[in-house]
Amino acid sequence: MKRICVVGVGYVGIVTGACFADLGNRVVALDVNQKRIAGLKKGVMPIFEPGLKELVDRNVQAGRITFTTSYAEALQDTEFAFIAVGTPSSVNGEADLQYVASAARSIAENMTAPLIIINKSTVPVGTGDWVADVVSEAQPEPIPFSVVSCPEFLREGSAIADFMNPHRTVLGSLDREAAEKVAQLHFPLRAPIVITDLRTAEMIKYASNAFLATKISYINEIADVCDAFGADVKEVMAGMGYDKRIGPQFLDAGLGWGGSCFPKDVKALAFMARQKGVEPRILDAVTQVNYDRRRMVVERTAAMLGGLQGKTVGLLGTAFKPNTDDMREAPSIEVANNLIAAGASVRAFDPVAIETARDLLPQVALYDDPYQMADGCDALIVITEWNEFKQLDLERIRSLMTTPVLFDGRNIYNPAEMRRMGYTYQAIGRGSEGNRDA
């Protein structure tokens, strides 16, 4: 059993801490946000993630994970300290490292024995060296430490499974022995471990996320070409995905990517490239294609309705993806704002993210029931591909709507079946009218 401190109980930190505890380690999860820590002590999770509450509760009862706001308490007899704080993106894409700096200084001021400090937050290339400098300067007296980069590759909605069954673990350090000690923490996961230098490990994270974002933007552009030629992008995606060099993952045409990772990581990588005199042409195009999706859905809905002024439009979903309440960079925000700017009244329903939406969508009427939300709507737009939406009584929905117009932003319905029920229906990349038979 190893003693581990995890600084930050946001999305990455709480999942990392709970999973390491479940592997039999003693974990102290620290956050300067007293409300979050007080909530965790009462069993209230700071985020929605399937299975997380059960995982945390089990390890709290077993005494393997505790929560504190005290660095001195968290670092007592600790061997490993993971920094898992936020690194939000500025307007120009530069990552904001103030929380990383604060965590590094606090660790330096409170450590009493040799320590391995592990950057779990997504940070710009070179941050590991910078963290080492911050710690050295902030220490009251010199105590040996090493810095290791261990980027996370967790997907919201399946983070626990991703942690416990990773495709690989990436570790970077100038201290090979320290990297190997961190590798030992991950041995029970039985996944390949890549050990490299600090900067290469940091780049692997950005390059991986930017590539996946590129794959999504690529298939969305192909979807537009499919619409122009009357081809079906779902069949195109299937045909492409059988090629092992391509694979089917992240080839789902829709409203693009959002969330806490892809938007800021693509912007940050583009910013870093420019800082070094490299023009990130592909990265810029990836971002442009993605944000064009939000305008596209509003334009097409307006065309289906003959204008948006005075119309009532309902959004099925507000979260950026299913199985999370996260609305960071969610398409729903820009879509709703653009609809309102065009004169529409907007409603929304989401199985999980409605409370999150209250602050982010103040002009949107939020509903706890999809049928009540649909009652009186002139059009519906599928924003998030929740499984619940695939099981809706669409005949009932149609009877409640003023006009049965539905824009399927995630291609979750069968176009022929929707036409049979009397909907004016469009999907993405399903043919020139958006209504090809499945």
Six-digit token string for 297: 């859905």
Return d(Cα 166, Cα 168) in angstroms, integer.
Answer: 5
**316 membership: H or E segment, kind and range:** strand 312-316
Six-digit token string for 152: 């996370």
Three-class SS state of 195 = strand
Q: Which amino acid is residue 77, in one-letter code?
A: D
Residues in Cβ contact with 333 at an 8 Å cutoff, skipping those fewer than 6 apart: 327, 360, 361
Other beta carbons within 10 angstroms of residue 187's beta carbon come to 11
Strands 169-173 and 145-149: antiparallel
**What values do phi and psi take at 86, rounded to 5?**
-70, 150
Return d(Cα 52, Cα 159) in angstroms, integer.
Answer: 9
Six-digit token string for 17: 């801490």
Return d(Cα 67, Cα 277) in angstroms, integer.
Answer: 44
Return d(Cα 319, Cα 300) in angstroms, integer.
Answer: 21
Return d(Cα 80, Cα 42) in angstroms, integer.
Answer: 26
Radius of gyration of the chain (CA): 24
Residues in Cβ contact with 400 at an 8 Å cutoff, skipping those fewer than 6 apart: 371, 374, 375, 376, 377
Three-class SS state of 234 = helix
User: Within 13 Å and on the Cβ side, how many CA atoms surround 77?
Assistant: 6
Three-class SS state of 424 = strand
User: Within 13 Å and on the Cβ side, how many CA atoms surround 205?
Assistant: 28
Length of the chain: 438
Return d(Cα 438, Cα 435) in angstroms, integer.
Answer: 9
Q: Exactly one of 5, 19, 150, 261 is catalytic; name it.
A: 261
Task: Mark whether 261 is an active-site residue.
Answer: yes
Residues in Cβ contact with 270 at an 8 Å cutoff, skipping those fewer than 6 apart: 93, 280, 283, 284, 287
Q: What are the catalytic residues?
A: 261
